[in-house]
Amino acid sequence: MKLANETNNNHSPGPVRDEWFQWKEKDLHKAESVSRPSLSYWQDAWKRLLKNKLAMMGLVFLVLLTFMAIFGPYMSKYDVGKIDLPNQYQPPSADHWFGTDSHGRDVFVRTWYGARISLFVGLMAALIDCVIGIVYGGISGFKGGRTDNVMMRIIEVLYGIPYLLVVILLLVVMGPSLTTIIVALTVTGWVGMARIVRGQVLQIKNYEFVLASRSFGTKSWRIIRKNLIPNTMGPIIVQLTLTVPSAIFAEAFLSFLGLGIQSPFASWGSMANDSLGAILSGNWWTLFFPAFFISFTMFAFNVLGDGLQDALDPKLRK
Amino acid sequence: MLKYIMKRLLIMVVTLWIIVTLTFVLMVSIPGSPLNEERGTTEQVQKNLESFYNLDKPYYVQYLLYIKSIATFDFGPSIKQPDRTVNDLLGNGFPISFELGMWTIIVAVISGIILGIIAALRHNGIVDYLAMTIAVLGISIPNFVLATLLIQQLAVNHPIFPPATWSSPMHMVLPIIALATGPMAIIARLTRSTMLEVLTQDYIKMARAKGLNPWKIIFKHALKNALMPVVTIMGTLLAGILTGTFVIEKIFAIPGMGRYFVESINQRDYPVIMGTTVFYSAFLIFALFLVDIAYGILDPRIKLHKKAGE
């Protein structure tokens, strides 16, 4: 439009002349070719995730954290539970990289032990939630009708139960241990996943491609495996990246209250709890390292989850 | 609407019954008696104690007595502090916890919504990034870490606020900030994303085209719809704030219900654990029920949907 105006201003107004145009040969071989390489859903999502700097930062941090959680404790000569009272409250130095705590234990080693616990609890809780939630939500959404109705009523009742109270009750009964924490977190934790899977399945099973598949006589199980589950993967993964930090937080919270990981083993929550008094007397490093890593881990999972949510949503595709 | 309320009410009662029964089963299945730790007692004293707490009766009698105690709201005496009943503990602790929780919700909702609106109006601007950075940090930093930092910075290093207890408005500032930051961040993010969605709707464009005052558009037309998701997550937020009070009350030495709860767990004081669990659950479930009803009233689509379905 603008260009046309400019030409009008530069040249004298007149009819559009034929010599302004020229013929272009039509290439019949190229007519059907695709100019952009064809990307699968996952390739496209990965490409878009790569562009999200914050999410990539989170991913890199989590990879480094996993590495340190596995190998970190071997990098120092100190033992996780070794009490060395004469050396209590040593500030960070070449010897004790993160300093020592009230019992003279090395904070560097304990921080990576805490990372192990946190990542393990988070991943296990998320995985178990995921399996139960997919099976339950899948059946509920796929069967529909009365089955769905009954299964949803059960979920509604479970959803109302305040999960941390159940967790605390279970911890009182079973005694504090890693297994108890994971069991307790998953007893009611799978409900959120089941709801999401059900919603997705309900939506997708009415799409035309499922109908087409059905009209070819495909068995239900194959439809679930080939059509429904792959198409619900996006929301499942997003939910997964949000379950992990909430499980990590729950573990830290319980350990902070003295209900989680017990001494001599270290968890970020119990380390923060131990250093409550120490920080007031100026020994900041005892709180700083566990607090920093727990906050940054939650941050990393949150931004990664946000990034994945954007990347896996086909509607946002450019 | 009445049918909807009745349905929610029924679910509420079933949930509560499950929690009550679950609590009972868990407490009974703990090996040993809570009285085993009592030292220097003769066999007769032990027996008297057991009969006082009804521990010598068969399980089904204990269960019925337990249900009765809940129905009449009388949880009996504490085991570790025999001169106090569970009702005393609840009566002393609950008003304080309630006050802390209420202020937290008010602060979190107001500041979260304001932060979310500002971020949405300055979408992709510096203010937006700043507000969202605050929000992500608020979600990432656990409240016990924040509470400790606040005490260290604003009570010990720079003595502006008192570090602990709950006796004057100044005492309330730090615990409320520590507890409200997380929920505030969640509300801000939610308000921002729904606000961005609402602002692109046709009726907002229409209101703009009519030349309405921009503030009126935001507060009267957009915000009303943007707040629906905030109402939906209020139940979850309440649960989070409630459990958050356990930690905050412990750190700030606030004599609320959360502290009794944590203490009772560490001391294995079963009547107190049962009483507080049931009380907490009942409170939360009732709050969830209210949120559901409020949602049903506020969102006209729910009623329409129901009618179309019937």
> Residue A254 to residues A125, A183, A247: CA-CA distances in angstroms?
15, 14, 11
Q: Assign B306 a pLDDT band (cuts: 50, 70, 90).
A: very low
CA distance A232 to A227: 9
CA distance B299 to B304: 9
B152 interfaces chain A, CB cutoff of 8 Å: yes
Assess whether pLDDT exceeds 80 at residue B307.
no
CA distance A68 to A63: 9
Q: Assign B206 a pLDDT band (cuts: 50, 70, 90).
A: confident
Question: Helix H segments across chain B?
Answer: 2-29, 43-52, 59-71, 86-121, 126-140, 143-151, 169-199, 202-209, 214-216, 223-226, 228-251, 257-266, 270-298, 300-309
Say what the pLDDT of residue B107 is.
Answer: 92
Q: Does domain B91-256 have CATH number 1.10.3720.10?
A: yes
Closest residue, chain B, to A304 (C-alpha): B136
Give me A277's structure tokens.
Answer: 């008094």
Average pLDDT, chain B: 79
B190 interfaces chain A, CB cutoff of 8 Å: no
The residues that bridge with B77 in the sheet, in sequence order, are: B85
Out of B142, B265, B268, name the one closest to residue A259 (CB).
B265
A166 interfaces chain B, CB cutoff of 8 Å: yes
Residue with tokens 């509420």: B12
CA distance A56 to A34: 30
Say what the pLDDT of residue A119 is.
Answer: 86
pLDDT < 70 regions, chain A: 1-13, 34, 80-85, 87-90, 93-99, 101-104, 263, 277-284, 314-318
Assess whether pLDDT exceeds 70 at residue B19.
yes
Average pLDDT, chain A: 78
Q: Could you tell me the residue ranges of all domains in chain B?
A: 91-256
* A304 in Cβ contact with A59 (< 8 Å): yes
pLDDT in tens, A18-69: 888 888 877 777 777 767 777 777 777 788 888 878 888 888 988 888 888 8
Contacts of B145 in chain A (CB under 8 A): 272, 287, 291, 294-295
Give me B96's structure tokens.
Answer: 């304080």
A276 interfaces chain B, CB cutoff of 8 Å: yes
Residue with tokens 């606000």: B195
CA distance B248 to B241: 10
> CB distance A257–B15 less than 8 Å?
no
CA distance B91 to B75: 12
Q: Against a cut of 0.80, is the pTM above it?
A: no
> CB distance B273–A166 less than 8 Å?
no
Which residues, at least 6 apart from A147, have a Cβ–Cβ distance to it below 8 Å?
A139, A140
